[in-house]
A and B are shown apart, each in its own frame.
Chain A
Amino acid sequence: MAFFVMVVAAAEVVVGLSIIVAIFRTRRSASVDDVNLLKN
């Protein structure tokens, strides 16, 4: 089970970090507070 958790964690890190990089490219910030596109 621990191996599967590890693989899922690795996949999550890869996707999450690439999302962060993509957000940073468009918004020039990696802060969670600045990501408020869904808020009016």
Chain B
Amino acid sequence: MNHVSTALLQALSDTGKTSTGEAVLFWCLAPIMVLAGIGLLVVKKAVHAALLVITIMISLAILYIAQGAVFLGMVQVVVYTGAVMMLFLFVLMLVGVDGSDSLVETIRGQRWIALLAGIGLACVLVGVVLKAVYSPQGFTAVAVDNNPQGIAQILFGHYVFAFEVVGALLVTAALGALVLTHRQRLTPRVGQKERADARVAAGAILTPLPAPGVYARHNAMDVPALGPDGQPLDISVPRVLRIRGQEADAQEFAARIDRVLAGGSAGRGQAVRQHPGELRDGCDGGQPVSLSTISCWRRFLFSLGATTVLLRRNAIIVFMGVELMLNATNLTLVTFARIHGDLTGQ
């Protein structure tokens, strides 16, 4: 597949407009993107897949900008990495990050059929691109002042109806998401009043808790206050100290008070300090992705996305595959827009 890409670059450089810097950029980014796409097929955790897709999106944005589609590149960063992938991550958090993919085949031979279909799709797409006729003028600079202005002229001029329809589609999609995720409340809403009523009904202390050390012979935080009856009040010691077991023992302290009253010297109570447990190892070791063959053709991305859709079981990763396919299409659109010197592709 390498020679196909070389052919395209050659077709561009025949017109003398593609710089070597851009070629170097492409050959740096394309393997990264293809590797990330293959990683989307093999990684187990959905979060890793999302990170790989973000890598692809950012690389695509760089490629867009390098091809002169500055506005589309920025929109790509904002919309895909900023909005869509964040949405993916939010849903991942809702649905459960730790849910890893099952590797059991429910349909016999599904994996091999999917792989075969992916390879076949790649072959078909490469064939199509090979047979494509490039416009005779080759890469031409678009005759507008700058990229956003040209795109605005096209969007709001020739394609204004499609633009409105697409806007309506977005609004409909947002409403649909609201309807789909809306849930009817089965229990009455618990507000401040209900919580307060429940506390009173449960017999909790309504007034502020007594301060530690009040009326006692010592005002340290771990010394319980004495009630009107002279008995120590456990609740006066801060909860954190009680949970840690660092409060002075109420019975022992009462005995100490007796000793103080009797004229003896009270020893300072020793607080038991618990050391926190040994540090837990927090990293879970991401698995690196390594594959020997690197073929750098953007259509490959599309077939990778299609294979992902066919192979993966986690519905979220399947959606990431769909995103990959759409983005590969976008990259092709931008490239052909550039070859034809026409902003319509963007």
Query: How many angstroms from the CA of A15 to the CA of B175 in the assembled complex?
Result: 9
- On whether the beta carbons of B345 and A7 are closer than 8 Å, the reply is no
**Complex interface bits, B153-170 against A, C-beta within 8 A gives 1, otherwise 0:** 001000100100011011
- On whether the beta carbons of A15 and B166 are closer than 8 Å, the reply is no
Q: Is B26 an interface residue (CB 8 A)?
A: no
From A7, A9, A11, A31, B102 is in contact (CB under 8 Å) with A31
From A14, A16, A20, A35, B95 is in contact (CB under 8 Å) with A20
Query: How many angstroms from the CA of A2 to the CA of B162 in the assembled complex?
Result: 13
Q: In the complex, which residue of chain B has the Cβ closest to the Cβ of A4?
A: B166
**Complex interface bits, A1-22 against B, C-beta within 8 A gives 1, otherwise 0:** 1111111111111111111111
- On whether the beta carbons of B94 and A13 are closer than 8 Å, the reply is no
CB contact under 8 A between A3 and B84, given known A17-B319, A32-B318, A33-B102:
no
- On whether the beta carbons of A11 and B170 are closer than 8 Å, the reply is yes
Q: Is B106 an interface residue (CB 8 A)?
A: yes
The count of chain B contact residues (Cβ–Cβ below 8 Å) is 53
- On whether the beta carbons of A3 and B87 are closer than 8 Å, the reply is no
Q: In the complex, which residue of chain A has the Cβ closest to the Cβ of B96?
A: A30
- On whether the beta carbons of A6 and B79 are closer than 8 Å, the reply is yes
Query: How many angstroms from the CA of A4 to the CA of B167 in the assembled complex?
Result: 10
* Chain B binding surface SS class: helix
Query: How many angstroms from the CA of A21 to the CA of B312 in the assembled complex?
Result: 18
- On whether the beta carbons of A16 and B319 are closer than 8 Å, the reply is yes
- On whether the beta carbons of A20 and B345 are closer than 8 Å, the reply is no
* Residue with the greatest number of chain B CB neighbours at <10 A, chosen from A1, A2, A4: A2
Closest CB in chain A relative to B48 CB, distance in Å:
16
Closest CB in chain B relative to A20 CB, distance in Å:
5
**Complex interface bits, B315-346 against A, C-beta within 8 A gives 1, otherwise 0:** 11011001100110110011001000000111
By a beta-carbon cutoff of 8 Å, the part of chain A in contact with chain B is 1-25, 29-33, 35
Pick the 7 closest A-B CB pairs, nearest first. A11-B173, A18-B177, A18-B180, A9-B326, A2-B330, A2-B333, A7-B166
Known: A1-B333, A9-B322, A9-B327. 16 other contacts (CB 8 A): A1-B346, A3-B151, A3-B346, A6-B76, A6-B326, A10-B79, A10-B170, A13-B323, A19-B180, A20-B95, A20-B319, A21-B95, A22-B181, A30-B95, A32-B313, A33-B106
By a beta-carbon cutoff of 8 Å, the part of chain B in contact with chain A is 69, 72, 75-76, 79-80, 83-84, 87-88, 91, 94-96, 99, 101-102, 106, 151, 155, 159, 162, 166-167, 169-170, 172-174, 176-177, 180-181, 183, 312-316, 318-319, 322-323, 326-327, 329-330, 333-334, 337, 344-346
Can you pick out 26 interface pairs between chain A and chain B where the beta carbons lie within 8 Å of each other? A1-B345, A2-B345, A3-B151, A3-B155, A5-B326, A6-B79, A8-B326, A9-B84, A10-B83, A10-B84, A10-B170, A10-B173, A12-B173, A13-B88, A15-B176, A16-B319, A17-B177, A18-B176, A19-B180, A20-B95, A20-B315, A20-B319, A21-B94, A21-B180, A23-B315, A31-B314
